[in-house]
Amino acid sequence: MRWPAALLLAACATLGGAMADARLVAPRISDEAITGKEFAAKLSDYGFFIHPEAQVPNLGVQPYALNTPLWSDGAEKLRFIYLPEGTRLTADGEGLLQFPVGSAIIKTFAFGKGEARRLIETRVLLHRAEGWVALPYRWNAEQTDATLALAGARVDLVTPAGEAISYAIPNKNQCKSCHSKDGAVIPIGPKARNLSAAWLAGMVEAGRLDRVPQGAGSLPVWSAREPSDPAAPLARAYLDANCAHCHQPGGAASNSGLDLRWEQHDPHAYGILKRPVAAGRGAGKMDFAILPGHPEASILLYRMDSAETGIAMPELGKASVDHEGVAVVRRWIAEMQAR
């Protein structure tokens, strides 16, 4: 497998002095664990990491980052993909990259900084012949490995914002509910528009992607945003990354009629002057998903700005409010011409 120089240098920088440790031996990546019928009991059974507690990826496991990431109580997320030898990704416009059978998408959630950082869970998506399988793994106290948590789990922790929460590791069915489209499990993160053009070009150079499509990297880089940046693209990108996996045709919340995908250009479809399908507690006695010029009267923002069960959106994946995301969406709605 040939990797471009930039990616190899980045990998060496990540490894740092660990490469000099004689105890650091790369495990064999188990294609059998990825494509087989059983569920591996331990994360280490896959061989994705050379140095699990430091999240040092094995050869053939490529780190990646999203321009606008999904927010999960402020967790740090470490993202990786694995492609079987001799295979490559296929670009399908600016949407989701197409992964060959035998691929894996790995995402680890961590809280804390420096020596206080703790790995909480790692979620894996395995592309098997019959389709994608989503599995959660919970890290042990020693930070040496993670164990399959089919029933999910609860972990008491403090978020970067200083809030004490009961963090939820989703069970297998909850993983499926967020990753479901038309009844099938699919990835939701690695869309070409939400990956940097430079990363995609590096994958093409390495022979692991067929092409860099038009529109690649078009979502704004959330971490580099400035207060003066236009609110609309930031808000639309945030909703695409955080909400559209359910709120789109074929998604788990398609019955709402709300379509929050980046590529949706019909204002009514993404919420402007759209009435809720069912008016319950989640509607907060309001009439429209988005009432232009009035964030305080918009159901979408009301639900984003709540952590209360039955009101909060997203329903899964958060126990606290993303105040930065709420602020961007509030500014977007406030700047709309009132009607």
| Residue 74 Cα distances to 112, 131, 208, 241, angstroms | 10, 30, 31, 15
Residues whose CB is less than 8 angstroms from the CB of residue 141 and which lie 6 or more positions away in sequence, other chains included? none
Q: What is the mean pLDDT of the chain?
A: 90
Region 196-201 average pLDDT: 96
Could you read off the pLDDT of 228-259 as tens digits, one per residue? 999 999 999 999 999 999 999 998 888 899 99
Could you read off the pLDDT of 40-60 as tens digits, one per residue? 999 999 999 999 899 999 999
Residues whose CB is less than 8 angstroms from the CB of residue 143 and which lie 6 or more positions away in sequence, other chains included? 52, 53, 118, 119
DSSP letters, 84-121, are: -TT--BB--TTSBPBPPTT-EEEEEEEESSGGG-EEEE
Res. 120 pLDDT band, cuts 50 70 90: very high
Whether 5 shows a pLDDT value over 50: the answer reads no
Residue-level pLDDT at 315 = 82
Residue-level pLDDT at 132 = 96
Question: In this prediction, what percent of the chain has a pLDDT beyond 70?
Answer: 92
Region 97-124 average pLDDT: 96
Q: Whole-angstrom Cα distance, residue 205 to residue 287?
A: 51
Q: Whole-angstrom Cα distance, residue 283 to residue 268?
A: 17
Res. 138 pLDDT band, cuts 50 70 90: very high
Could you read off the pLDDT of 49-92 as tens digits, one per residue? 999 899 999 999 999 999 999 999 999 999 999 999 999 999 99
Could you read off the pLDDT of 27-38 as tens digits, one per residue? 899 999 999 999
Whether 20 shows a pLDDT value over 80: the answer reads no
Residue-level pLDDT at 181 = 76
Q: Whole-angstrom Cα distance, residue 233 to residue 230?
A: 7
The total number of residues shown for the chain amounts to 339
Whether 280 shows a pLDDT value over 80: the answer reads no
Residues whose CB is less than 8 angstroms from the CB of residue 84 and which lie 6 or more positions away in sequence, other chains included? 31, 100, 102, 103
Could you read off the pLDDT of 170-182 as tens digits, one per residue? 998 877 677 777 7
The total of other beta-carbon atoms located within 10 Å of residue 76's CB is: 15
Query: What 3-state class would DSSP assign to 334?
Result: helix
State yes or no: cis peptide before 227, omega within 30 of 0.
no
Residue-level pLDDT at 230 = 97
Res. 24 pLDDT band, cuts 50 70 90: low
Question: In this prediction, what percent of the chain has a pLDDT beyond 90?
Answer: 76
Among residues 207, 208, 242, which one has the least CA distance to residue 68? Answer: 242
Whether 7 shows a pLDDT value over 60: the answer reads no
Helix intervals (H) in the chain: 5-15, 31-35, 172-178, 197-205, 231-242, 299-304, 323-335
Residue-level pLDDT at 1 = 37
Q: Are 45 and 30 in contact (CB under 8 A)?
A: yes
Residue-level pLDDT at 279 = 65
